[in-house]
Each structure stands twice: as structure tokens, then as C-alpha cells.
């Protein structure tokens, strides 16, 4: 079995977020439909949130690749904050996803929250830290 070194993993991550890489310009979104997500989930399978005040994030700003103790390399994006405003119709948000930039966005990854987050009144907030991780190198 081939083993990918930590240094190589960090190089892969740097290339993924560099200009022209698939994670460059990615945007963060919230979804509301209660589905089991897997590697087969497609963007069309997700229903984006629509509570008052919601908007997809701007482009994720990625940090530097790092080693995860007991795991592979990972890279974090900037913290994204989503908040309700006005008088929202209550809506339960199940998770978040990252979509690629461009005219035909693609689903890059999706993650469910541990528990749904309910947006029921102005000021309700959820913060998401986009993180892309590679599996253990050994």
C-alpha cells in the first residue's frame, strides 16, 4: 500500500485552494432538507435555506495547510456567520455545504450539524468553520 507523506498532503491542500484550484472561490451555504449525505450526494439533492436575512457566504478565504494529530493534513477557511433578520418564518437548518465558483457550481463537500439549528427570530445565528481534511497518511 502506498503511503502519502504529510508534506505531500499539505502540498495537495495548498494546490486545492490556490487560484484555479477546485476550492478557490468556494462559497458556503446552509441546507434544510433532512437527508442522509454521502459521497453520492449532489448539489441538486440539497435544499438551500431561505429564512429572512439568509445569503450564501462570500468566497471562503483559506488558511495554511496543517497537520492534524492522529490524522492527515487539513486546511481551515475563514469563519462564516449566518444570521436571521426581520421576522423570519421559522426554519430548521440541517447542515452546510461548499459549492464551487463559476457559472455551473458543483458540490465540493457537505456536512450535517450534530443537531438542527432553528432560525425563528431576528438575531438567531450559526457560525461555520469550513475545514477540508485528508485522511491519515499512514
Whole-angstrom distance, CA of residue 29 vs CA of residue 31:
7
Domain that holds residue 22: 6-133
Is 120 a member of any domain? yes
What would the grid cell of residue 27 be? 462559497
Is the pLDDT at 126 greater than 70? The verdict is yes
Q: How many other C-beta atoms lie within 10 A of the C-beta of residue 109?
A: 17
Is 138 a member of any domain? no
Dihedral (Cα; 110, 22, 129, 138), 10-degree rounding: 80
Is 83 a member of any domain? yes
pLDDT of residue 2: 78
Is the pLDDT at 120 greater than 90? The verdict is yes
Percent residues over pLDDT 70 in the chain: 98
Is 1 a member of any domain? no
pLDDT of residue 138: 54
pLDDT tens-digit readout, 54-110: 999 999 999 999 988 878 899 999 999 999 999 889 999 999 999 999 889 999 999
Average pLDDT, rounded, for the chain: 93
Is 93 a member of any domain? yes
pTM value is 0.91
Q: How many domains, in total, are found in the chain?
A: 1
Q: How many other C-beta atoms lie within 10 A of the C-beta of residue 118?
A: 14
Amino acid at each position: 500500500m502506498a503511503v502519502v507523506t504529510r508534506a505531500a498532503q499539505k502540498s495537495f491542500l495548498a494546490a486545492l485552494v490556490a487560484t484555479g484550484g477546485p476550492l478557490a472561490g468556494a462559497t458556503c451555504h446552509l441546507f434544510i432538507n433532512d437527508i442522509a449525505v454521502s459521497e453520492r450526494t449532489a448539489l441538486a439533492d440539497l435544499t438551500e435555506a431561505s429564512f429572512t436575512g439568509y445569503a450564501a457566504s462570500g468566497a471562503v478565504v483559506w488558511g495554511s495547510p496543517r497537520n492534524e494529530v492522529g490524522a492527515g493534513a487539513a486546511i481551515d477557511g475563514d469563519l462564516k456567520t449566518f444570521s436571521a433578520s426581520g421576522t423570519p418564518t421559522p426554519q430548521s437548518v440541517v447542515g452546510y455545504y461548499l459549492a464551487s465558483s463559476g457559472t455551473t457550481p458543483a458540490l465540493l463537500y457537505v456536512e450535517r450539524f450534530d443537531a438542527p439549528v432553528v432560525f425563528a427570530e431576528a438575531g438567531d445565528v450559526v457560525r461555520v468553520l469550513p475545514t477540508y481534511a485528508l485522511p491519515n497518511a499512514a
